[in-house]
Structure 1
C-alpha cells in the first residue's frame, strides 16, 4: 500500500501527502458504512470531492495518521444516542421531536420519516434530522414504555 500521511496545516485544515511525493491541501474522510463497519473502507477525497485513495482499514494507516483520521471521523459521524422521547408530533408531514440524549436534551425536526429513519436492525434505529444531525436509538426495547409509545405513534 502507498504511504499516506494525514496532518493538519494550518490547524484545523486536513491535508494529505502520498508517498512523500504528492500533497493535497484540502482532504475529507468518509466511511462507506460508518455504523456497520466503523473504521473500515475509508475514502479520502480532495477539495473537488474526487477520490484520492480508498483505505481498507484504519489499521493500514500510521499511528499519527490513524489518530487524525479517527478525530475527523468522530467529527463527521457524530451521533447522539436517544435515551428517552419526551414528545413527538407531526404536522403536514414534518415531525417535531423532543428527546433526551447522551449529550443532553435536544429538539429536532425530521422532514420525511420514510427517508430519514433507517432501521439498522429490528431494534436499532438511525434518525437523520433536517440539518443532517444523526440520532440513534441503539435498542428500541430498552426505551421506557412512554418513549416506545411515542415512537410507535410516528413510525
Structure 2
C-alpha cells in the first residue's frame, strides 16, 4: 500500500507526501458519501482539483494522518442539527428558515427546495442553504408538532 502522509504546513494548509517521494503543497480532502458512509472513500485532490489518491477508509491511513483527515472532514462537512423550526416562509420560490440548532439560532435561505432538500431516509432530511451550509433533521418524526407542521408546509 502507498504511504500517504497528511500534514499542515503552513498551519491551516493541508499538504500531502506520497511514499516520501512526491509532495503536494495544497491538497483538498473530500468524501464520496459523507452522510451515508462516513470515513469511507476519501478523495485527495491537488491544487488543480485533480485526484491524487482514493483512500478506501480512514483506517487505511497512519494514525497521525488519520487525525489530520478527521479534522479536515469535520471542518468540510460541518452540519448543524435542527432541533426546532420557529418559522418557515416562501416568497417567489425562495424559502426563508429560522431554526434552533445544536449550534444556536440560525436564519438561512434555500433557493430551490427540490434540489436543496435531500431525504437520506424516510425521516432523515438534509437541507443545504444558498451558502452551502448543511442543516440536518435526524428524525422528522421527533420534531415538535409546530416544527413538523412548518416543515410539511414547504415540503
3-state DSSP class of the match of 2:12?
Answer: coil
1:85-104 alignment, distance < 5 Å: 85-104=85-104
Question: Where does structure 1 differ by over 3 angstroms across 4 or more consecutive aligned residues?
Answer: none
Q: Which residue of 2 aligns with 1:65?
A: 65
Task: Compute the TM-score of the two structures, normalised by the length of structure 1.
Answer: 1.00
After superposition, the C-alpha distances for 1:43-88 in whole angstroms (9 at most, x for unaligned) are 0000000000000000000000000000000000000000010000
- Residue 149 (structure 1) shift: 0.1
Q: Which residue of 2 aligns with 1:22?
A: 22
Two-structure CA RMSD over aligned residues (Å): 0.2
Q: Which residue of 1 aligns with 2:117?
A: 117
Structure 2: state its 5+ residue gaps. Answer: none
Structure 1: state its 5+ residue gaps. Answer: none
- The number of residues matched between the two structures is 155
Match status 1:78 vs 2:89: no
- Residue 144 (structure 1) shift: 0.1
Q: How many angstroms apart in 2 are the aligned matches of 1:153 and 1:141? A: 15
Q: How many angstroms apart in 1 are the aligned matches of 2:17 and 2:31? A: 20
- Residue 151 (structure 1) shift: 0.2
